[in-house]
Amino acid sequence: MKIHLSNSVWIGNIDPFIHSFDTSNDKILEITSHKKWVSVHPVVLCMITGLGLFIRRKKAELSFEKMEATSRHYFERMGLFKILGLDSGIKITPHESAGRFIPLQLITNSSNLDDFICEMIPMLHLQPEQAEPIKYIISELVRNVFEHASAPDGAIVCAQYYKKSNTIRIGVVDTGVGIRHTLERFYHPKDDLNALALALTPGITGTTTKIGGTEANAGAGLFFIKSLAKISRDFFMIYSGKAMYKLLKNPKNKQAKLISDPLKDHFSSEANLPFWNGTVVAIDLCLNNTLNFNELLDLIRKVYREGRKQQTKLRYKKPQFI
Amino acid sequence: MEIKLYEYVGTFAENKDIAKDIRINKIIPSLENSEEITLDFDKVKSATQSFVHALISDVIRKNGIKILDRVYFKNCSDTIKKIIEIVIEYMQDHS
């Protein structure tokens, strides 16, 4: 396998980065990077970590070409080399991380997650009303990994606050079974993209065909998170198997309306990407734009109800007159 | 019976394992004994939909919506109220 950290990788321009991922030989993972400057979304760090841990588990070779980019210190500070057990040779003076970022973390159980959520907010120095949606996103995404992914390394999480744009960017990645596999038992998605669309539809969960879910799962988590990005007019991206669904930024002159069918949203998608064993989720949240969380819940309530009615209606049997 | 959720979940109610535990070991036995249940969210500032779903959806699914005549939600923040309303509403659509 080969992956190249290019000059700039954010959700908006992540497609070429994913396309360049070469999955052909899983006996070795070769990681290379742009020689001058590498500037990436936290989800990219999570993906590299996920691949590195995957290759280590397979006892295959991990070859991480020495980074030359001026920005290489960032990768050291975010804990990429440490988590992969590599000596980068990069010397840094670690600053206090509060107010800027959450370095790469592996979250493997409920208790880890509780601790992480407690520690995370002071690290980002956010106001309580700003912290609320972020805690929500992390909790729901990480619990999805615990409950559905069967991921040996748990959830790989990383986040960064960008002062200039007042935006927090979050990545949550796993190298588990992937969304199509999770939905296979009850929904038989025809391909990975169809699986992503189902996973983003309110009321659909991998644990039952019943609309509304089971006692443990309602099938609402990803829809809530996509809705947060939509209302904040920010990006949301999910990549699993060979497919990626990307919610595009809602234009400022258009009313941000929640829609239960993800395929009717303002989105882009790809269905034939290099295969990702597991699931990758990334979200940007501009804290200027974040709607009051309670107002968002009102909108979600309305759309969730309508979406669920549509799902139920689709299953109504009609008499067959012959 | 009154259950003070802060003692179990702190200020952010998100741990579904704890929700399940409270449901199985406290809520269901009390309701089976024909008691009333008060879920007190005092000091709990927020909750996820998944937590509230794990706490109460199965109670409604198994007993019908009338069971809510014996379940009270106390000291809920606006966010928690809205999340409880969402869960109860969708459970009524399909119970």
Domain assignment present for residue A310? The answer is yes
- The answer to whether the beta carbons of residues A47 and A173 sit under 8 Å apart is yes
Nearest chain A Cα to B61, which residue? A215
Domain assignment present for residue A88? The answer is yes
- The answer to whether the beta carbons of residues A304 and A202 sit under 8 Å apart is yes
Percentage of residues in chain B with pLDDT exceeding 90?
A: 82
Q: What is the CATH number of the domain that holds A162?
A: 3.30.565.10
Quick: pLDDT tens for A102-116: 999 999 999 899 888
CA separation for the pair A83, A67 (Å, rounded): 16
At residue A97, the pLDDT reads: 55
At residue A260, the pLDDT reads: 86
Dig out the tokens for A19 from the structure: 């396309």
Q: How many domains does chain A have?
A: 1
Domain assignment present for residue A203? The answer is yes
Q: How far is A244 from chain B (nearest CA, A)?
A: 25
DSSP B19-81: HHHHIIIIIHHHHHTT--EEEE-TT--EE-HHHHHHHHHHHHHHH-GGGGGGEEEES--HHHH
Report ipTM (2 d.p.).
0.89
At residue A215, the pLDDT reads: 72
B87 to chain A, any CB pair closer than 8 A? The answer is yes
pLDDT for residue B4 is more than 90:
yes
Contacts of B14 in chain A (CB under 8 A): 113-114, 117, 135-136, 139, 143
Q: Do A297 and B79 touch (CB under 8 A)?
A: yes
pLDDT for residue A131 is more than 90:
no
Quick: pLDDT tens for A183-205: 988 889 999 999 999 999 887 77
Domain assignment present for residue A322? The answer is no
At residue A267, the pLDDT reads: 95
User: Can you give the residue range of the structural domain that contains A154?
Assistant: 2-314
Percentage of residues in chain A with pLDDT exceeding 70?
A: 90
Nearest chain A Cα to B77, which residue? A294
Report the SS3 class of residue A284: strand
Q: Do B54 and A216 touch (CB under 8 A)?
A: yes
pLDDT for residue A224 is more than 70:
yes
Quick: pLDDT tens for A29-81: 999 999 999 999 999 999 999 999 999 999 999 999 999 999 999 999 999 99
Q: Do B94 and A312 touch (CB under 8 A)?
A: yes
Quick: pLDDT tens for A242-260: 999 999 998 877 887 888 8
pLDDT category, A234, cuts 50, 70, 90? very high
At residue A172, the pLDDT reads: 98
Pairing of strands A276-286, A267-270: unpaired
Quick: pLDDT tens for A260-311: 899 999 999 999 999 999 999 999 998 876 567 888 888 888 887 776 667 6
Runs of H (alpha helix) within chain A: 15-19, 42-57, 72-77, 80-83, 110-124, 128-144, 179-187, 192-199, 221-231, 293-314
Across B56-71, average pLDDT: 91
- The answer to whether the beta carbons of residues A161 and A124 sit under 8 Å apart is yes
Highest mean pLDDT among A30-34, A122-126, A231-235: A30-34
pLDDT category, A99, cuts 50, 70, 90? low
- Mean pLDDT for all residues in chain A: 88
Domain assignment present for residue A321? The answer is no
Contacts of B84 in chain A (CB under 8 A): none
pLDDT for residue A87 is more than 70:
yes
Across A220-224, average pLDDT: 88
At residue A253, the pLDDT reads: 79
